[in-house]
Structure 1
Amino acid sequence: MKLGLFSILTIPFILLKVFNVVTWSWLIVFSPLIIGVVIWLLLLVFLILIEAIADR
């Protein structure tokens, strides 16, 4: 299993939060994963739109 950039960033963020090194909210801690999901969803919507336009 390969870890992507967003997963690699999330792991130290979680460790920093758990060991009270940072006082960030959990939303900020998981923001790399959220950003990754948003990018994939935008890419999916973009590809679906291109396919719909190509089928005309």
Structure 2
Amino acid sequence: MRIKNTLKLDEILISEHLLDQARLDPRLKIMGDPLPIIFDENGNLPKDSL
């Protein structure tokens, strides 16, 4: 799971392994298909990745 801002939890990224569990929760809305995680040249997540 990736949470960009813990004060604003209306959008988060979850791993593909959590997708089936998220689908079972009626409070959650799946916004799209799984995407690959792309890291920068230093192996870090880019700041705009959410």
TM-score normalised by structure 1 residue count = 0.29
TM-score, structure 2 normalization: 0.30
Identify which of structures 1 and 2 has the higher relative contact order when contacts are C-alpha pairs closer than 8 Å and 6+ apart: 1
More helix per residue: 1
Bigger radius of gyration:
1
